[in-house]
Amino acid sequence: MLISQLAERTGLRPSTLRFYEKIGLLPAARSTHGYRLYGEDAVERLAFIATAKQLGLPLEEIADLLKIRDDGDCVDVKTELRSRLDTRIEEAQQHITGLGAFIATLRTVVGRLDGLPSRTGPCDPACDAVTSVEPGPPEEDEDAATADEDTPRWRSSPVACSLASSSLGERAKRWHVALSGSTPEAIDDGLRLTVPIDRAATLTELAVAEQQCCPFYDFRIQLDGPSMHLEVRSPEQGATILAELFTPTP
């Protein structure tokens, strides 16, 4: 098929297909008149590229996977892909932790700003919101200071959501769509849900967003061949909220 026909079949622009050829992702034969020609395997190849991109893999890594796919066995592709996705999960978990710490810093700064005097006239060192507020870790009360240092952050976070009420319904809808068709399984402190692997990117994005407003949730992701297992936990006080948000609607 010609490049225009392949573009129509896959929904990709011809310029994208030419770019993929340029960087070695999509080889093309040539007609006697110099037109690019593609076989049916190009459609499958582009589907593989699209899925890999959805999982957060850069084009350089996708090129490596395609080379293994072209030259090796299917098990080689599976092994290599699993290794790279495990790395992405670890990076996402670190990102979630970093966002939680950043939110805590922002809340500390807001608290200090609220404590500054409200006065007219120019700012001075006693009230200047820019120079007197230094972001730092949130202040701990006496009980928190004596808490076990090994206690996970989600267990000690208050069960409260900073998301605006107008956005709660939309967030819940996104979770229910992403988890549709899954059957929740009760685990200690939460639920375990199994969904198709092609939802990994969406669910990771949702988990990151959820921890920005609700740091009392703990998310853990496991890839298992064609499936993805999502475990979500919360302190006992958040059990009802967790069940409502992460139980798929019929």
The CA distance from 183 to 181, in Å, is 7
pLDDT the model gives residue 149: 54
Write down the CATH number for the domain with range 3-59.
1.10.1660.10
Cβ neighbours for 89, distance < 8 A, ≥ 6 positions apart: 204, 221, 223
- pLDDT over 90 for what percent of the chain? 20
Higher pLDDT, 175 or 96: 175
pLDDT the model gives residue 6: 93
The CA distance from 92 to 162, in Å, is 21
Cβ neighbours for 173, distance < 8 A, ≥ 6 positions apart: none
Higher pLDDT, 235 or 138: 235
